[in-house]
Structures are given as structure tokens and as C-alpha cells.
Amino acid sequence: MEVGDWLRGARRVWRVAGAVRTAVDEARQRSEERRALWARAEDEDTPPEELAELAGNADPPVRNNVGRNPKTPPGALRHLVAEAPPGPVRNGQLDTWTTRAAVACNPSLPPDLRSTLAADEHPYVRAGVAANDSTPPDELMRLASDSDDLVRMTVAAHPNTPVATLARLAEDADPTSGTARSLMDNPNCPGELRERLRASLREPEPEPEPPKSERFLPFGPAKLVGGVLFAQRLARQEEEDHPADPGIAVLGPRSGLLKRQAMTLAAEGREDREAVDELVQRAEGHDAALRRAALWLRCDGQASEQLVENRAHRLLQAALSGEAVRELTESERQIIDELESLRARSDDGFNALVEKEPRMRAVADAIRPVEGMPPQDELGVEPIRSWVAISFPFATRAMSRAPVLGRRVPAALLGLIDQLEGLVGPTSASLDPVLRSHLAMNIAVKYCVPLLDPAR
């Protein structure tokens, strides 16, 4: 090959590589801009006039976040519904029910628009109205007669549903249904009715395998609107009741960006002032997003039991307080090192726990298989780890009472978790910091829960 030919070829390769780099940079920039818009549309501090403008954005996630935002003006909500009429396909796009469902969940929904959405042809939209905290009793009474199970389950769980309507739902509810479970967990359900439902409760028939497209929630057939609402409602309550160690935490677009940036900085070993300033700049004055990102890292013991997560949490706390990053104490480092050693014994972790707490072996030996156990992959939370952090005990109890998920959790599984929590995990009485860790609970669950499966 001549030198001239080689140089011309090299120049072509260089130009192509430059074009690829430019395209990647532009795509990354567009992605960052989209996420910033998602965050603005979700943020309750965004001015109403800006939310009204964002309601006309072409990006569906932006419109959906505007639809959920309680500060969105009524006129913008009406525009969103008018621009997202029912129909399986519109302009070559998928069904626009997600926008209508987002508006249906808005606590500031005008009464006339609420009535319109309560009669929507898509059940997830009607379920959004039924889950809305501002929906009045008379609307819930009408929705109690809905033909869709999800809608009735959501009505049965609503604290505004009249007692007479609860009784009517109980008459029609199958003992294995999510509606019956929701009724029992409703704080307004009369004691006599609750006991009657509990007495008639029986194990359900095995559910058919859901279509692959519906497996994006870990609790069986996906109930998108209800599932998201239920998770957000639980997360708000946990943030209020247990801010130091929440059972569940949910990220939004802005807090998700902050959490990822904090983890990236922490993985690089950064604890300097410049790293904190990067987070402050990304937060753009939204302290609530910083708090939510930090809360997410406290869930399931991440910040207290893993070194990188601990550093990311301290970075976020410094961004919130304006102070320097707090140094890791010697006792904290010692506990994290011990837990890392336990984590390294992945195949032998349960035996390591038995060495510290011999009663664990007796619990495992007493486990007997139970018919109707959900598949093991449905009891995990990995499919939604990107936006939800949740502990296994909390997730399982949430499944057992979720009005919108309708998953029947065998009593044997709940009983097993009660036994394990008496010996390991943050709620145990143990004085050993390793036994009191979330990691210890997760190891115990990973070993013991499969023993309940008769197919094992």
C-alpha cells in the first residue's frame, strides 16, 4: 500500500470516528436535557405557567409528570386529557392512556374532569381516579360497581369509601381476590366484616404465567398505575415514620440523577469539596431531590453496610447541609469490613450466621414446602431496583396487602419472616451488629424462602 493511500484511509477513519463521537455526545446531551425536563415537570416548585407550557411538550414522560403534579393548573390538565383521547393507536403511537391515568392520579383534579376520567374506557385510568386521595365517597360508590377487578380492589382500599360500599364489595368478592384483601386492610372496614372475610380466606388457584410484556413489576401481572401509586404512597409514609431506615424509597427523575451522580463520585473515592459542589449544581436548589436520593441510599441498609453507598450518602448529606463531607468513623468502617467479609462468603453465608445465632438452623430445619408459593423471581425486587429500593420483609408484607397488586402471599411465608426478624435484621434483639444488619436478613431469606417451594 502506498503511503498516500494509507494517509487517505487514515483520514477517512478519523473523520468517521469524529462523526461517531459527535453523535454520541449529541445523544448524551439530548438525554440530559430530557431528564432535566422530566424533573421540572415533576417538581412541585415549578411555576404553574411553566407547567402549563410543559403540558404541550412532545415527550410523553414530560406530559405524564405534568399530569401528576398537584401544582399543574386545571386548564393544563384539561389540555392533557383533550390531547390524549382514548384509542388503541393514535398517530402511530401506543395507546395514550398513560397520560390520562397520570392526570387521574392528580390530587388537584377538578371535579368535572374527575367524573370524565372515572368513565374512561381504560381500567388503569379509572383505577387512577379510585386511588386518588381527593376522590369523594359518591364517586367511589359508583366505581365500586366497575367491571374491572383492579378498579374494585382500589376502591376497597380507599379510606374514603363508605362502610355500606365496603359491605357491598365484600358480598361480591371472591375470598382469594385482591378485593377481599384490600377490604381487610381498609382501616374503615368494620371488625365483624373483617373477621368474616378472614375466616373465608383460602389459598388461590395458581395464576397463569403473565405475558412477557407484563413482567416489569416483581409482583405478578403488572398493574402499572396502581403499582406505582401504591409504591409512592408507601414511600411517603415510610419517609415520615422511619426516615433513618425506610422499608421502601422511590426515586423521581431529578433525585435519580443525583443518586447516580453521587454513586459515580463515590466509586471514584471522591469526598472533596468539588464533588459536593457538583451535586449542589446538579440539584439546582431542589433540596427535596437531594433528601430523596439520600433516603434511597438509607433503605435496606445500603448506606450503613456498603462502603461506596456510604460515601455517596455522605456526599449527598454534605450537599444538603453545606458542610464538609463527614469522615467515616472507625466503628462504622469496622462494621462495613465485617459485613464485606460476610458478603464474600456468598455460598456459605447462612452457615456463618448460624455460627453466631444457632437458632437459625432450627428455623431452617422446621420449614416445610407450601403449595401456592409465588415463583422466586416474583419475590425479588431487582426488576425495579433502578427507581425503587425496598427490603424483602417490607416488600412481602406490601404484596400481601397491596390493593392494586392483588398478590396472595402464603401465611407460611409471612410467618417465616416474623421468625427470621426475631433473630436477624435491624428489628432483632441481637446485640451483634452483623446479625442486626440488613445483609444478615437478606442472606437468611435467600437460604430459607426457597425451602418453602414444593418444586425445589
In tens, the pLDDT along 318-339 reads 999 999 999 988 888 999 999 9
Residue 178 above 50 pLDDT?
A: yes
Residue 100 above 80 pLDDT?
A: yes
Name the DSSP class of 208: P
Give the H/E segment covering residue 218. Answer: none
Average pLDDT over every residue of 423-442: 89
400 and 322, same domain (yes or no):
no
SS (H, E, C) 5-51: HHHHHHHHHHHHHHHHHHHHHHHHHHHHHHHHHHHHHHCCCCCHHHH
Contacts of 426 (CB under 8 A, 6+ apart): 245, 301, 436, 437, 438, 441
Would you say residue 193 lies in a domain?
Answer: yes
Cα end-to-end distance, the chain, whole Å: 65
Give the H/E segment covering residue 284. Answer: none
Rounded to 10°, the helix 273-283/253-267 angle is 170
170 and 246, same domain (yes or no):
no
Would you say residue 71 lies in a domain?
Answer: yes
397 and 261, same domain (yes or no):
no
In tens, the pLDDT along 70-93 reads 899 999 999 998 876 554 444 334
Residue 34 above 80 pLDDT?
A: no
Q: 285's torsion region: left (phi>0), alpha (psi -120 to 50) or beta?
A: left
308 and 385, same domain (yes or no):
no
103 and 216, same domain (yes or no):
yes
Average pLDDT over every residue of 364-373: 79
Residue 30 near residue 56 (C-beta atoms within 8 A): no
What are the grid coordinates assigned to 291, written together?
Answer: 433528601
Average pLDDT over every residue of 114-119: 92
If one counts the domains in the chain, the total is 3
Domain-terminating residue out of 292, 310, 341: 341
Would you say residue 111 lies in a domain?
Answer: yes
Would you say residue 380 lies in a domain?
Answer: yes
216 and 69, same domain (yes or no):
yes
In tens, the pLDDT along 242-278 reads 888 888 888 877 888 899 899 999 999 999 999 999 9
Residue 342 near residue 443 (C-beta atoms within 8 A): yes
Q: 155's torsion region: left (phi>0), alpha (psi -120 to 50) or beta?
A: alpha
Residue 210 above 70 pLDDT?
A: no
410-446 in b/e burial notation, b at 16+ Cβ within 10 A?
bebbeebbebbbebbbbebebeeebbbbbbbbbbbbe
Whole-number pLDDT of residue 91? 39
Whole-number pLDDT of residue 235? 80
Q: Residue 373 — pLDDT band, cuts 50, 70, 90?
A: low
283 and 432, same domain (yes or no):
no
Q: Which residue has the higher pLDDT, 97 or 57?
A: 57
For residue 139, the domain's CATH number is 1.25.10.10
Would you say residue 230 lies in a domain?
Answer: no
Average pLDDT over every residue of 388-397: 79
323 and 350, same domain (yes or no):
no
Q: Residue 116 — pLDDT band, cuts 50, 70, 90?
A: very high
Whole-number pLDDT of residue 216? 33
What residues does 90 pair with on adjacent strands? 93
Range of the structural domain that residue 136 is part of? 37-85+95-201+211-225
305 and 387, same domain (yes or no):
no
Phi–psi pair at 292, nearest 5 degrees? -65, -40
Per the prediction, the chain carries an average pLDDT of: 78
329 and 352, same domain (yes or no):
no
Domain-terminating residue out of 283, 313, 341: 341
DSSP 372-441: TPPPGGGS--GGGTTTEEE-HHHHHHHHHH-TTT-----HHHHHHHHHHHTTSSTTS----TTTTSHHHH
Would you say residue 172 lies in a domain?
Answer: yes
Domain-terminating residue out of 316, 341, 366: 341
46 and 63, same domain (yes or no):
yes
CA–CA gap between residue 344 and residue 76 (Å, rounded): 53
Mapping DSSP to helix (H, G, I), strand (E, B) and coil, where does residue 86 land?
Answer: coil
Would you say residue 414 lies in a domain?
Answer: yes
Would you say residue 9 lies in a domain?
Answer: no
- Angle, vertex CA 400, rays to CA 397 and CA 405, nearest 5: 115
335 and 349, same domain (yes or no):
no
Average pLDDT over every residue of 59-74: 87
Chain centroid to CA 24: 30
